[in-house]
Amino acid sequence: MEPIVIQQLTKRIFELLETTMNAKGRTLEKRLAYVQRKLPGRVKRAGKVLVDAQGMADSPRLAMQLDSETVSAAYDEMERYLKELDVAAEKSRKRYNFWAAVAAQFLLVVGALVALLVWLDYL
């Protein structure tokens, strides 16, 4: 696989990480580290393959050792996951989880307050 092709593939994943997951960082490796906890294992492994391929593509001798099928499969895996990711649904789910946690904590505090008032014979 040509080094130019590898650079194009990694640049595309680099841009997708920013647009879909708001990843920060100047390199693909930094962006993958930024969103590491949000990615499934198979996508993390594909990202590592791409980062390694990007590093090997800089050296002509190492670039000859790259397996183009492995790099292509890793790129396809990353691209498929990032394109299928629904940003609006993710934000909605986070908002719902936040308010559910707030409601649960409120009910817990009110329950503790009622229990205290009953224990002190005010209710």
pLDDT digits (tens, 9 = 90+) for 58-90: 888 888 889 999 999 999 999 999 999 888 888
Do 101 and 121 lie in a common domain? yes
CA dihedral 90, 93, 98, 101 (to 10 degrees): -140
For residue 121, give the DSSP letter: T
Name the pLDDT band for 14 (thresholds 50, 70, 90): very high
CA distance 100 to 117: 26
Q: How far is CA 17 from CA 79, 82, 96, 101, in A?
A: 9, 7, 24, 28
Q: Which amino acid is at 119?
A: W
**Residue whose C-alpha is closest to residue 15's, from 5, 6, 25:** 25
Do 102 and 68 lie in a common domain? no
The number of distinct structural domains making up the chain is 2
Name the pLDDT band for 91 (thresholds 50, 70, 90): confident
Domain that holds residue 53: 3-85
This prediction has a pTM of 0.75
